[in-house]
Structure 1
């Protein structure tokens, strides 16, 4: 399977960096082709420009600034997202990826003014994430990142595609044992991909 790994964390010594390395290592060892997209290392610009917004509904071409990312997304059979949750949301760089790359004609088509999901090449989605606070607090806030993955992204990819959300809540109070247990859970998920 050709798997696009979208990674969004700026610190190479973070727990998230360790998770990212584990994800890529285990998927590769399982025989998958991994397109490792480290958004910070690639210096992805998350800002939607004025011109991009004005041309948002126009057909895009190879000269478009995000065309290489669109191509990578359309070549993928599966998507693995690896990121921290900050302020109950995606890091800005990952949010910008969705804003700039999940375009009309890429992730959806407009038919009579209604969006019809069209990213049907993606047959499986896994999100691996960390939260500073606990699950209860995230639930009180509606846990927007979980809902975006489990609802919005699920509705965008191939109908019936499995969508898995692996979250380590309470990083601010985590222990070596809790982090190790989460890494084992992530490893098992990647091994079974």
Structure 2
């Protein structure tokens, strides 16, 4: 019963470990944007701007959308997931004379000059790519250890009563590689 309770606790930690604060780095520059869902704020790097309140957050499939307000202008933000670490960030402001959306390619992996030069070399571990996977692997390992405690040891029931089992010796097979006598 204790093991079942421990298993449930680890599962809860695995679900809570899902990142509620995510930083998206621009691929073409050193800027970033941060989305904090626990405090419901959106922070832009640079420009010394204040955190903006996240309104109307909605996640549908691979798209996350929300709005922020600043000085009477409403900014619509969308993150569309393309792969595990790559996203496309769309933003547009209303009311505005221009209806164009700003499109920026972003990633959750920090971009540095070293990363751009050594792009082909994978340096990430599985835990860095997906922290939930590493937690779930740990939970599986603990679960399997617990399962092994309840398995019966089949070798204890057998006894040879002092008998030794020896394999019969046979002459080596001549396949042509051995020298003749």
Which of these two proteins has the greater Rg computed from alpha carbons?
Answer: 2
Greater strand share, structure number: 2
Greater helix share, structure number: 1
TM-score range (shorter-chain normalised) is under 0.3
TM-score, with length taken from structure 1 = 0.25
Q: Which structure carries more relative contact order (alpha carbon 8 Å, separation 6+)?
A: 1
